Amino acid sequence: MGQTLAEKLIARAAGKDVVRPGENVTVRVDLAMMHDSSGPRRIAPILERLGAQVWDKDKIVLVSDHWVPAVDPQSAQILDITRRWARENNIKAFYDMVGICHVVLPQGGHLKPGMFVVGGDSHSTTGGAFGCYMFGIGSTDMAGVLVTGETWLRVPESIRLEWNGRLRPGVCAKDINLALCARLGLGGAEYRTVEYTGTLVDAMDMEERMTLSNMAAELGAQAGLIAADETTCDWIKATGSDPGDASPWQSDDDANYHATHSFTADELEPQVAAPHSPANAAPVNEHSGVNIDQAYIGACTGAKLSDLRMAADVLADRQVAAGTRLLVAPASRQDMMAANAEGTLTKLMEAGAIMMPTGCGACAGFGGGVLAEDEVCISSTSRNFQGRMGAQSAKVYLGSPYSVAAAAVAGEIRDPREFLQGA
């Protein structure tokens, strides 16, 4: 019997030829990623109590993205702890206020096919888009990784999510994820790994693949994998890194999956998820006419360069509706600069968008953009749990950058295809 991509990646890290679901294995970690919220402020005290040092400073990536920029003494202190720890441990790959960890990590050329990577954040599943096994762990487990360079896991079963066909204009990877949340439910892939396959996934660019893998976390999956191919390697080369040999990192034709779900993209409508769960997703027209106070384009899920372009396609030569505010927080400085150079930011700002700092921001309830009591927001972020973006009584709808931009123009939730030429 052949192996799934997940089994191959775990077997390599465990130093084995073959692993099977249910087997407990100890694995070598190729890279550990932390951010300011989950990292030094929580882990440094553990290491100090143990009298331990990091196992390999060159295999650690640290990113400040949650508490940036500091808005009060508490957030300033957290950032100070992060910066001092980076200096004291000579962490060369420290990205301070330049973007969200899940976007900065691959943009820095740190992810390559075949790697086994851990991250101190639930959306570390994003790394699976690059043909590596990456998943989120808590601070105690991360402390163990930093000391030993190893961790353990129970080999998960794999679920194959096969998407074929073509997406229609105004529909994107975010809509796929919301549709999957509605179909499979939050936790529908709990304790398992999902692997995205099919002709549609093969045709996607890396940023759309990152969006797919990112929201594997909402399905409860440990990892969200996409087999490495020429698109993967070209993207990594553009960062100045060598992707190595991607050919081994594919599932075997006779691999055994826990389940396979097949979908046709041609039939997919733009999706919007109602409060307070991504699983409340339905075609956008089921929510059409809901008035909004705020539209938010941000987060690792929905503010990469391709996401900003989607919003600009809707907003070009239009204005944000009176009484509605549109906030845009690019996912990284690199994406922001590229969007500025090509004129995408100009389109957003001319429409009335308010530009926010790069970082996690309101997605995680930090900094500018949080909501007041009873306010209604539509957001390109990954989660709309009650109270996550501000007041407990606030209501957050989730949509693609297309749908968020369309709502900003209309002042209410609307089908984005109404605002796109040729849609």
CATH of residue 281's domain is 3.30.499.10
Residue 148 pLDDT: 98
Same domain, 221 and 100: yes
- One pLDDT digit (tens) per residue for the chain, 423 residues: 899 999 999 999 999 999 999 999 999 999 999 999 999 999 999 999 999 999 999 999 999 999 999 999 999 999 999 999 999 999 999 999 999 999 999 999 999 999 999 999 999 999 999 999 999 999 999 999 999 999 999 999 999 999 999 999 999 999 999 999 999 999 899 999 999 999 999 999 999 999 999 999 999 999 999 999 999 999 999 999 999 999 999 999 999 999 999 999 999 999 999 999 999 999 999 999 999 999 999 999 999 999 999 999 999 999 999 999 999 999 999 999 999 999 999 999 999 999 999 999 999 898 889 999 999 999 999 999 999 999 999 999 999 999 999 999 999 999 999 999 766
Do 224 and 337 lie in a common domain? no
Alpha helix ranges (H) inside 156-296: 173-184, 199-203, 206-214, 230-238
Backbone angles phi, psi at 161, to 5 degrees: -110, 105
Please choose, from the candidates 240, 175, 400, 237, the residue with its C-alpha nearest in 3D space to the C-alpha of residue 308: 400
Range(s) of the domain holding residue 347: 273-419
Q: Let me know whether 260 and 296 are in one domain.
A: no
Is the domain of 212 the same as that of 253? yes
Between CA 44 and CA 283 the distance in angstroms is 46
**Claim to verify: residue 202 and residue 84 sit in the same structural domain:** yes
Q: Which of 204, 229, 264 is the last residue of a domain?
A: 264
Cα dihedral sign for 17, 22, 24, 29?
A: positive
On whether the CB atoms of residues 334 and 306 are closer than 8 A, the answer is no
- 157 in the same domain as 234: yes
Q: What is the DSSP letter of 109?
A: T
Please name the residues in contact with 348: beta carbons below 8 A apart, sequence gap of 6 or more: 308, 311, 312, 315, 326, 328, 339, 355
Task: Examine the fold and report which residue of 209, 232, 264 is the final residue of a domain before the chain moves on.
Answer: 264
pLDDT confidence of residue 422 = 65
Q: Is the peptide bond before 276 cis (omega within 30 degrees of 0)?
A: yes
Residues 45, 158 within the same domain: yes
Give the other-Cβ count within 10 Å of 152's Cβ. Answer: 11
H/E element, 158: strand 157-164
* Domain match, 408 and 347 both: yes
pLDDT of residue 178: 98
**Distance from C-alpha of 32 to C-alpha of 30, rounded to nearest angstrom:** 7
Q: What are phi and psi of 174, to 5 degrees?
A: -60, -40
Hey, what are 191's tokens? 């304790």
Same domain, 66 and 196: yes
Give me 147's structure tokens.
């000391």
Closest to 117 measured CA to CA, from 98, 104, 130: 130
If one counts the domains in the chain, the total is 2
| Last residue in a domain, options 264, 284, 316 | 264
CB 117 within 8 A of CB 124: yes
State the Cα–Cα distance between residues 35 and 95, nearest whole angstrom.
Answer: 9
Please indicate, yes or no, whether residues 123 and 254 belong to a single structural domain of this protein. Answer: yes
For tokens 């060598």, the residue is 242
Residues 37 and 116 placed together within one structural domain of the fold: yes
Are residues 123 and 382 in contact, defined by beta-carbon separation less than 8 angstroms? yes
Cβ neighbour number for residue 94 with a 10 Å cutoff: 18
CA 366-367-369 angle, 5° bins: 95
For residue 366, CA distances in Å to 42, 216, 299 come to: 18, 23, 12
> Which residue has tokens 């699983």?
279
Residues 6+ away with beta carbon under 8 Å from 97: 64, 65, 68, 69, 357, 358, 359
Do 292 and 238 share a domain, yes or no?
Answer: no
Distance (Å, whole) CA 197 – CA 258: 15
Containing 195, the helix (H) or strand (E) segment is strand 192-197
Task: Give the amino acid at 365.
Answer: G
Question: Quick one: tokens of 159?
Answer: 């679920």
Q: Are 194 and 159 in contact (CB under 8 A)?
A: yes
